[in-house]
Structure 1
Amino acid sequence: MTIRVATKADIQAINRLNTEALQHEYPLKEAEERLAYILSSPANQLFVKEIAGQVVGYIQLSEYICTYGPILMNVLGLAVDEAFRHQGIGKGLLKHGEQWAKDQGAQGLRLNSGLERTEAHKFYRHEGYEEIKKQINFRKLF
């Protein structure tokens, strides 16, 4: 079992995890473009978990800096293939992300999790994360 930095070749597996594990459908071509940007940006990172040559999970982190709090890394995605859940993969990815964040000088991690993802909430609490507040997520596309 290996956790490593993602490569462009991982995009099909990442896109599948986005769709199946996170319910975020997105065109593969556009996902490829986003991954290329993430991999070129020092403020972003995407790690994958590989078992026997197959990507079974990933964690994506991005710098979160504001004028009203500590420097953090934002977990933008943590996904594990359903067939590989409850094997410590999510925990391993999260710990790997935490270590990378520390190495970058961040003081912690933050993340958002959909209200309906109650199992994920239990997981994060078990890993020492505390619920800070409830929010409504807004977006405007151009």
Structure 2
Amino acid sequence: MADIDNLSIRPARRVDIPALAALFASDNILGGHGDTTDFEALPFYEAAFERIQASPNDTLYVAEFDGEVVGTFQTTRITVMIGRGATTLRIEAVQTREDMRGQGVGEKMMRFAIEQGRQAGASVVHLTSSLKRTDAHRFYKRLGFEQSHAGFKLKL
């Protein structure tokens, strides 16, 4: 069991891209997003990283333990007209390295993200999770999230 008191959460840096790609690639069974550690895919990850870095509303974070990336998530602040111009914080791409799961890494990342939303004046934190991820659903409910909407997507 790792001592996650030594876990730090910080904005991702360009040097973290290979570790992030490895995290996403290790989730291809449930995630199915086609992520890979293949060197030829690196330019796609680098371009995405640059777009995220350039956005004033997006932040990509890593959880670091003993100098290694062991988790990640991304936040996006969205201002909408409903709710009198409410700001919501959307959390995406939550991943914890397999050998670190069940040790509190995910909880620390989510509590950090929630606090970032609070500081940004968000009225709600929103996330989606694949219907296949029943363990993740239990985790999010334990943290106080409520399943409130049906999600839809259209692949382009």
Q: Same fold (TM over 0.5)?
A: yes
Task: Report the AA paired with residue 73 of structure 2.
Answer: I
* SS of corresponding position for 1:114: coil
1:12 equivalenced with 2:18 (yes/no) = yes
1:139 Cα deviation from its structure 2 partner? 2.5
Correspondent of 2:109 among 68, 93, 98: 93
1:36 alignment partner in structure 2: 50
Aligned length: 140
1-structure distance, mates of 2:112, 2:124: 13
* SS of corresponding position for 1:102: helix
2-structure distance, mates of 1:37, 1:116: 29
Gaps of at least 5 residues in structure 1 are: none
2-structure distance, mates of 1:38, 1:135: 24
1:35 Cα deviation from its structure 2 partner? 1.0
Q: How does 1:96-111 map to 2 (within 5 A)?
A: 96-111=112-127
2:80 alignment partner in structure 1: 66
1:104 Cα deviation from its structure 2 partner? 1.6
Point out 4+ residue stretches in structure 1 off by more than 3 angstroms.
none
1-structure distance, mates of 2:100, 2:146: 25
* Rg (Cα) greater in structure: 2
Report % sequence identity. 29
1-structure distance, mates of 2:20, 2:79: 26
2-structure distance, mates of 1:24, 1:15: 11
Task: Report the AA paired with residue 129 of structure 1.
Answer: F
2:146 alignment partner in structure 1: 130
* SS of corresponding position for 1:130: coil
- The answer to whether the 8 Å contact 1:7/1:39 transfers is no
